Amino acid sequence: MQSMVQKRFLILPPPGDGDNQADLDRLTHALRDEFGAVRVPLDVLLRDANVLRASGYRATATLVREDSGWTLARIQPGDAAARRYGLACDLGSTTVAVQLIDLNAGTAAATRTAVNAQVARGADILTRIFYTREPGQEAARRAELQRLAVQTIDGLISGVLADAGVDPADCPLLIVAGNTTMIHFLLGVDAFCVFSAPFAPMFNRAPAADTRALGFGYEGRLYCFPSAANYLGGDILSGLWSTNLTDSDELSLFIDIGTNGEMALGCRDFLIAGAGAAGPALEGGISKNGMRAAPGAVDRVRIEGGKLTVTTIGGAPPRGICGSGIVDLLAEMRRSGWLNVMGRLEPGASERIVSVPMEHGESEEWAVVYARDNQGAPLTFTQSDIAQFSETKAAAGTMVACLLQAAGVEPGQVQRIYLAGAFGEHLDLESSILIGLYPDLPRDRFVQAGNASLSGARKLLLDRRGLERVEDMLRDLYYLEFAMQPNFLDLMSAARYYPPLPREVRP
**Shorter beta-carbon distance to a copy of itself: residue 36 or 317:** 36
Phi, psi at 8, each rounded to 5°: -135, 125
Q: What SS3 class is residue 270? A: coil
Q: Which stretch binds a copy of itself (CB under 8 A): 160-168, 171-179, 208-216, 303-311?
A: 208-216
Q: How far is the CB of 192 from a copy of itself (least distance, A)?
A: 10
Nearer to a copy of itself, 24 or 356 (CB): 24
- Nearer to a copy of itself by Cβ, of 183 and 278: the residue is 183
Phi, psi torsion values for 115, nearest 5 degrees: -70, 135
**Cis peptide bond N-terminal to 507, omega within 30:** no
Residues 6 or more apart whose CB falls under 8 angstroms from that of 269 comprise none
Query: Taking CB under 8 A as the criterion, which residues in 66-85 touch a copy of itself?
Result: 67-68
Nearest CB to a copy of itself, comparing residues 145 and 330:
145
140 contacts a copy of itself (rule: CB under 8 A):
no
Let me know if 444 is exposed, middle or buried by CB neighbors in 10 A (0-12, 13-18, 19+).
exposed
18 binds a copy of itself (CB under 8 A): yes
**Residue 150 C-beta: closest distance to a copy of itself, Å:** 14
Q: 316's torsion region: left (phi>0), alpha (psi -120 to 50) or beta?
A: beta
Q: Which of 204, 243, 383, 451 binds a copy of itself (CB under 8 A)?
A: 204
41 contacts a copy of itself (rule: CB under 8 A): yes
Does residue number 14 form part of the binding site for a copy of itself (CB under 8 A)?
yes
Of residues 39 and 83, the one with the C-beta less far from a copy of itself = 39
| Contacts to a copy of itself from residues 162-201, by CB under 8 A | 187-190, 193, 197-201
Nearest alpha-carbon partner for 185 in 213, 145, 125: 145
Q: Scan residues 292-311 and list those touching a copy of itself (CB under 8 A).
A: none
Q: Is 92 in the site for a copy of itself (CB under 8 A)?
A: no
Reference 227, options 245, 202, 250, 246; nearest CA is: 202
By the rule CB under 8 A, 37 interacts with a copy of itself: yes
Q: Distance of CA 68 to CAs 35, 37, 71, 466, 469, Å?
A: 11, 11, 10, 10, 11
The CA-atom distances, in angstroms, between 200 and each of 28, 175, 185, 204, 476 are 40, 24, 15, 10, 19
Residues numbered 215 to 254 that lie near a copy of itself (CB under 8 A) are 227, 229-230
Candidate segments 35-43, 104-112, 148-156, 417-425, binder of a copy of itself by CB under 8 A: 35-43
Query: At its nearest, how many Å lie between a copy of itself and the CB of residue 273?
Result: 13
- Nearest approach in angstroms of CB 473 to a copy of itself is 15
Tell me the sheet residues that pair with 135.
Answer: none
Q: Which of 1, 8, 9, 24 binds a copy of itself (CB under 8 A)?
A: 24
Distance from C-alpha of 238 to C-alpha of 227, rounded to nearest angstrom: 9
Q: How far apart are CA 236 and CA 322, in angstroms?
A: 23
Selected range binding a copy of itself among 17-25, 166-174, 336-344, 493-501, rule: CB under 8 A? 17-25
Whole-angstrom Cα distance, residue 83 to residue 25?
Answer: 25
Number of H helices, E strands in the chain: 15, 21
Cα 299 from Cα 293, distance rounded (Å): 8
The answer to whether the beta carbons of residues 281 and 392 sit under 8 Å apart is: yes
Q: Which stretch binds a copy of itself (CB under 8 A): 164-172, 207-215, 348-356, 428-436?
A: 207-215
Binding segment for a copy of itself among 1-9, 42-50, 302-310, 385-393 (CB under 8 A)?
42-50
> Using CB under 8 A as the criterion, what x/- string covers residues 315-354 for binding a copy of itself?
----------------------------------------
Q: Judged by CB under 8 A, which of 1, 8, 9, 49 binds a copy of itself?
A: 49
**Among the listed residues 26, 147, 268, 292, the single contact to a copy of itself using CB under 8 A:** 26
Contacts of 301 (CB under 8 A, 6+ apart): 308, 309, 310, 325, 328, 329, 332, 370
Specify whether the CB–CB gap between 117 and 148 falls below 8 A. Answer: yes
Using CB under 8 A as the binding rule, whether residue 144 contacts a copy of itself is answered as no
Nearer to a copy of itself, 187 or 414 (CB): 187
> Under the criterion CB under 8 A, does residue 377 sit at the interface with a copy of itself?
no
Q: What angle do CA 175, 46, 467 make, to 5 degrees?
A: 25
- Looking at the Cβ atoms of 203 and 366, the one nearer to a copy of itself is 203
Cα–Cα dist 339/370, whole Å: 14
Cβ 45 to a copy of itself, closest distance in Å? Answer: 6
Shortest spacing between CB 218 and a copy of itself, in angstroms: 16
Secondary structure (3-state) at 492: helix
Q: Which residues bind to a copy of itself, rule: CB under 8 A?
A: 14-26, 37, 39-43, 45-46, 49-50, 53, 67-68, 187-190, 193, 197-207, 209, 213-214, 227, 229-230, 481, 484
